[in-house]
A and B are shown apart, each in its own frame.
Chain A
Amino acid sequence: MLKQLMKEYMIGFKKVQQADMKNPFVWFPISYGALLPFIISKKEGAIVFISLLPLTLIMLSAHMHPFGLNKMHYLCPMTAEERKKKIRQEYYFRCGLHFTMIAVFLLAVLIIRGIQLPALIYLLAIGFLYSCISNPGECKGKIAYYAFEILAFFVTWICTLTLPADGTYDKSEYIYLACVYALLLLGMIPAFVSLMKSVRKEIEQGAFYEKGAIMTKS
């Protein structure tokens, strides 16, 4: 099953042109990050840039690999329940892959320069929420995805700006930052719930061509 899911995910790379790459938010984090070294100090800019890199990769991945079925899938011998299961698996696979990317990146940062616990927890939590972004293709519910992407980006951006260059905080900043992170995460929960509702709807409706088909783009 994992092999099949990976195979289908890899197919996404072969049809990059087909993916919805017009969404400017895909490119926003990386372009913003690339400009930072010229705006703020090189060191801080580089940190922010590197911090935003995995998020950009996830956004690219989400947009290259929309989950859902095309018309041919509805003609293949599958029951509605099997189609639903397939869409759900595709979605979970993408979430897992994206979270692994974030986790590996954070591990690397942890080894190279160290991250204090509140920031690590915060980044992991944000990473998890971010990993759940997946492009619904031509289906409804795009607004929820885009709104979440923008929100997630700005919240992450605020976090990266508060990361000290040497990886440690002053003791006076420690509690203050932990509270800020907690508040930011709490603020994201309604958007995340809305996104999850949209995902559930996509999966339910995706089982039926009339309700949720992604037409192969010509």
Chain B
Amino acid sequence: MIVFSGTDKKLGSFRLQDINFEIPEGYICGLVGRNGAGKTTLLHLLLGLFQPDAGEVQVDGYEYGSNEKEIRKLLGCVLVDELFDRGLSLADNAEYFGSYYEAYDAEIYHKHLEQFHLLPKRKFKELSKGEKLKCQFAFALAIRPKYLILDEPTANFDPEFRDAFWKILKDFIADGAHSVVLATHLTDDLDRMADRLLFLDKGKIQFDGDMEHFREKYRILSGETYLINLIGKERILGMEEGKYSTKALVKNNGSRPYPEGLAEAAPSIEEFMYLYSKGGGDKC
């Protein structure tokens, strides 16, 4: 299980504050938020690249201070940065960095390279952005990690590969012993595939829970503005007034029905983020 408890990190003027969440095994957890919300900082803390100013980061009960090596054996990652050596071939890169991992399996790596249509003898620098990420993804799988940490890889994948990518992730967590943490802006895929959601805004976690809870907790209401205002401002997280109709993101309270004449629907992650941003935040 991945556990953040009371974690703080200050980077210049940005501050990740009081981060508390748990990600158990068997989940695909989507990490979403606007640019600069703190997603990459959070992932860097999870990967031990940054050390927290306060609080703890634990992976399977291990902490970086005392069991860094054990944690790193459990984590495979794909980051936006180019992790491999540009001057080396894909095979040489994997051979070199794979030597640090006891569980590295060259066969898995080459199998995935073939599946992703990448030639092992090609130099890393010759690859396109998407291909570089595919290659790093193949390596992350080849070290046979317990947790996959992925920082916005999907934006650079072609639609055809994206399907294969999600299938691999589903297979990865299928045994219930592995998990994926995926930061992405492509929320449509998350709507379909994620089991859990972490929504970050201004360095704070605004939502942490499974997708069912997310769909249950919020509603998108559409209709006349005056009808929406009847709900009460404290429940409205964000609102957009249109020419003919107004849309609002509200906290769902199952016991109190909405005024008649309003259309009600569970929000998609994208709708949630969009309307949430209209409300200025801090009300989740």
Binding site for B on A (CB under 8 A): 7, 11, 14-18, 70-72, 74-80, 82, 208-210, 215-218
Contact indicator per residue, chain B 88-122, by CB within 8 Å of chain A (1) or not (0): 10001000110011100000000000000000000
Binding site for A on B (CB under 8 A): 47-51, 68-70, 72-73, 75, 77, 79, 81-88, 92, 96-97, 100-102
A14 → chain B closest CB, angstroms: 4
Chain A residue at minimal CB-CB distance from B79: A71
* Contact among B47, B69, B79, B84 for A79, CB-based, below 8 A: B69
Complex Cα distance, B121 from A14, in Å, reads 13
Q: Are A14 and B87 in contact (CB under 8 A)?
A: yes
Residues in B with CB closer than 8 Å to A76 are: 72, 97, 100-101
Residues in B with CB closer than 8 Å to A75 are: 47, 49, 72, 75, 77, 83
Chain A residue at minimal CB-CB distance from B102: A77
Residues in A with CB closer than 8 Å to B48 are: 74, 209
Q: Are B50 and A210 in contact (CB under 8 A)?
A: yes
Chain A residue at minimal CB-CB distance from B84: A72
Instruction: Say whether chain B's binding surface is mostly helix, strand, loop, or mixed.
Output: loop
Q: Are B83 and A216 in contact (CB under 8 A)?
A: yes
Q: Are A17 and B87 in contact (CB under 8 A)?
A: yes
Chain B residue at minimal CB-CB distance from A14: B87
Instruction: Say whether chain A's binding surface is mostly helix, strand, loop, or mixed.
Output: helix
B264 → chain A closest CB, angstroms: 45
B20 → chain A closest CB, angstroms: 22
Residues in A with CB closer than 8 Å to B77 are: 75
A-B CB contacts (within 8 Å), total count:
71
B42 → chain A closest CB, angstroms: 15
Complex Cα distance, B77 from A126, in Å, reads 46
Complex Cα distance, B49 from A208, in Å, reads 8
Chain A residue at minimal CB-CB distance from B129: A218
Residues in A with CB closer than 8 Å to B75 are: 75
Q: Are B49 and A218 in contact (CB under 8 A)?
A: no
Q: Are B73 and A71 in contact (CB under 8 A)?
A: no
Q: Are A208 and B51 in contact (CB under 8 A)?
A: yes
A5 → chain B closest CB, angstroms: 13
Given contacts A77-B69, A215-B81, 14 further A-B contacts (CB under 8 A): A11-B85, A11-B88, A15-B88, A16-B87, A70-B85, A71-B49, A72-B83, A72-B84, A76-B97, A76-B101, A78-B100, A208-B51, A216-B85, A217-B86
Complex Cα distance, B102 from A1, in Å, reads 17
* Contact among A7, A17, A78, A218 for B82, CB-based, below 8 A: A218
Chain A residue at minimal CB-CB distance from B103: A77
Q: Are A209 and B49 in contact (CB under 8 A)?
A: yes
Given A75-B83, A210-B50, A218-B82, does the pair A14, B88 have CB atoms closer than 8 Å? yes
Chain A residue at minimal CB-CB distance from B11: A210
Report the 7 A-B pairs with minimum CB-CB distance, sorted nearest first.
A15-B87, A76-B100, A77-B72, A72-B83, A209-B49, A14-B87, A77-B69
Given A72-B97, A77-B101, does the pair A15, B86 have CB atoms closer than 8 Å? yes
Q: Are B86 and A210 in contact (CB under 8 A)?
A: no
Complex Cα distance, B72 from A80, in Å, reads 12
* Contact among B50, B69, B86 for A18, CB-based, below 8 A: B86
Complex Cα distance, B80 from A216, in Å, reads 12
Complex Cα distance, B51 from A215, in Å, reads 18
Complex Cα distance, B10 from A210, in Å, reads 12
Q: Are A71 and B81 in contact (CB under 8 A)?
A: yes
Complex Cα distance, B68 from A215, in Å, reads 21
Q: Would you list 21 pairs from A and B whose C-beta atoms are within 8 A, ordered by A residue?
A: A7-B96, A14-B87, A14-B88, A15-B87, A16-B87, A18-B86, A18-B87, A71-B49, A71-B79, A72-B97, A74-B48, A75-B75, A76-B101, A77-B102, A78-B69, A78-B72, A78-B100, A80-B68, A209-B48, A210-B50, A217-B86
